[in-house]
Structures are given as C-alpha cells and as structure tokens.
Amino acid sequence: MNKKSVAALTPAMEHEQTDELVGVLTAISVVSRRLAKKLVLLEKQSAVKKGKQKNEAAGQLSIHAD
C-alpha cells in the first residue's frame, strides 16, 4: 500500500484490515501446523517402511546363506 491509500483509511477501515490480516495469518498458521504434523507422520512411516525392508533383506540374505 502506498502512503496516500494508508492516509485515506478511516480507523474503522484500519481495524477491518487488521482483523482480516489476523485472520489470514491465523489460517496460514493452522495450515502450516497441519502440514508439519503430516510431514512428521510421513517421515515416521517412511522410517518404519525402510526398517521393514532392511529386516526383510537381512532375512533373505540369511536364508540364502544357509
């Protein structure tokens, strides 16, 4: 926003814009938190999957070694 448009805002308009900005930032925060939780869950699932693959691979090697 330029200086002219800021100067032309009434206190009610400023309050409305502030409320809107707070709403947008809150929504961004909520979405960010959800995404972070999903990423943590996916990372855990990936680690478990890799662990199972390693265990299966180790089991197959020991079966063939006998």
The CA–CA distances, whole Å, from 46 to 14, 24, 28, 53, 64 equal 47, 33, 26, 10, 27
Residue 29 falls inside a structural domain: yes
Model confidence at 61: pLDDT above 70 = no
User: What is the rounded end-to-end Cα distance, in angstroms, of the chain?
Assistant: 75
Residue 31 falls inside a structural domain: yes
The boundaries of the domain holding residue 37 are: 12-65
11 contacts: CB under 8 Å, gap ≥ 6: none
Q: What pLDDT is stored for residue 66 in this prediction?
A: 47
pLDDT band at 60 (very low <50, low <70, confident <90, very high): low
Q: How far apart are CA 55 and CA 48, in angstroms?
A: 10
Average pLDDT over residues 25-51: 95
Structure tokens belonging to residue 54: 């390693």
Domain tally, the chain? 1
